[in-house]
Chains A and B, each alone.
Chain A
Amino acid sequence: MKRWLAISAGVAAWVTLGLVPAFGAIAGAPHDLSDNGYSKAEICIFCHTPHHSRIAELDIKLWSHKTTVGPYQLYGGGLTSASTPVGQPGKNSKICLSCHDGTVAVDAMGSTIGDPVGTERINEGQWAAKPGLYIGTDLRNDHPVGVPLTVAAGKFKIPTGGSSGGMKLYPNNVSGDTVECASCHGVHGQTAFGKYLKVTMAGSALCLNCHIK
């Protein structure tokens, strides 16, 4: 009980401040696919496996999901309006796009023993009717990823809350590092603000964490 009170107080503090990610909530959240009729009634296995991981495919902790190979059409055709080159998505975007670009089945997971195919992509089956999940490989109409953020007065700044899974540039949250899906989205327990956002959108706080407007 004391623990729950402490946790509740912690969550309340986070929600109030809207800055630090809330954790501990992957179970029952949208990324919990244990109850979606797939071959494993588990949570972690869709992305992580304890043995024979696909780390050679994608350098992510104990990676288990078959990795997307794109290729992607890039934002601005590969150049932002400020003439910053946009690269192909980095690994902290590929982890997401391996489901959300619709080239690999959601349940194409498992160790390197075998080659998982899965049964349905994110624009098929039970997911087809759910809007917003399918990003596709055409990223021209999405906020750029794989794009470096260079600190510039009046334009861009390093996001705060870069530790403990908060908003950050990859890999080290310094000027010149890149914006990736995981810069804004925390896939595990960051459910306080919806869509796995790491920071509240109230007052566009998430956007203004990088953009100086």
Chain B
Amino acid sequence: MRKLLAISATLAACLTFGLAPAFATGIAGSKHDLSAAGYGSTELCIFCHTPHAAKASASGPLWNHAASSATYTIYVFASGTHTIGQPGPASASCLSCHDGTVGIEAYGSANTTTHLMTGDALIGTDLTNDHPIGVVFPTTGSSYKSTHTTPLYNGKVECASCHAVHDNTNPPFLRMANGGSALCLDCHSK
């Protein structure tokens, strides 16, 4: 609720001042700013969010992007006992562009595949070569830290655990600077 209020306040501020969000390292001008990409809108938020008629298949607040219907090949653990499944909502929102099956421009009523993700931002549907997501954070054993600042979603590590999609202070949209692998070591005891 507090988050929604914050978003509303930000939206209100944008509308009032007629400006892009004032965060110097925010989404404006970042790779997630698609306003100049020629994808059918010169707005920022619209590719993911809409103030009205948001999608029922919401993977984020006021969700506006076409969902991926992919079934993912999930990460295979070499050892240990882990509970892992298909990516949760806090990953699905990212993968609806980054798995390369849905057009980046597919917002609102569109469900097109005109501009598919390419390059190193393309994760694909094979997640075996990516850090596990949709995985329950282990609460036992000495390999993981019980106290960490990165968020879990329903107790699971998801894309949004490491990535903050609205803030590119630490590219690529990392939740904290990764000097000395600080982000990794936030959870991993090594």
> A44 to B181, Cβ gap below 8 A?
yes
> B119 to A113, Cβ gap below 8 A?
yes
B172 CB → nearest A CB, Å: 9
Interface size class of B (residues with CB under 8 A): 20 to 34
> B181 to A189, Cβ gap below 8 A?
no
> A34 to B181, Cβ gap below 8 A?
yes
- What is the interface of chain B mostly: helix, strand, loop, or mixed? loop
> A43 to B184, Cβ gap below 8 A?
yes
A34 touching B180 in the complex, CB below 8 Å, given contacts A55-B128, A55-B129, A62-B131? yes
- What is the interface of chain A mostly: helix, strand, loop, or mixed? loop
Interface status of B142 (Cβ within 8 A of chain A): yes
**Contact among B123, B178, B179, B190 with A189 in the assembled complex (CB-CB below 8 Å):** B190
Interface size class of A (residues with CB under 8 A): 20 to 34
Interface status of A155 (Cβ within 8 A of chain B): no
> What residues on A are CB-neighbors of B181 within 8 Å?
34, 42-45
> What residues on A are CB-neighbors of B78 within 8 Å?
59-61
Q: Which partner residue on chain A sits nearest B123 by CB separation? A: A51
A24 to B185, CA, bound (A): 9
Interface status of A111 (Cβ within 8 A of chain B): yes
> What residues on A are CB-neighbors of B179 within 8 Å?
34, 41-42
Write 12 A-B pairs (CB below 8 A) sorted by A numbering: A24-B189, A27-B180, A27-B185, A34-B179, A42-B178, A42-B180, A43-B180, A43-B184, A53-B129, A59-B78, A112-B129, A189-B189
Q: Enumerate chain A interface residues (CB-CB to B < 8 A).
A: 23-24, 26-27, 32, 34, 41-45, 48, 50-56, 59-62, 111-113, 164, 188-189
Q: Enumerate chain B interface residues (CB-CB to A < 8 A).
A: 78, 119-120, 123, 128-131, 142-143, 162, 178-181, 184-185, 188-190
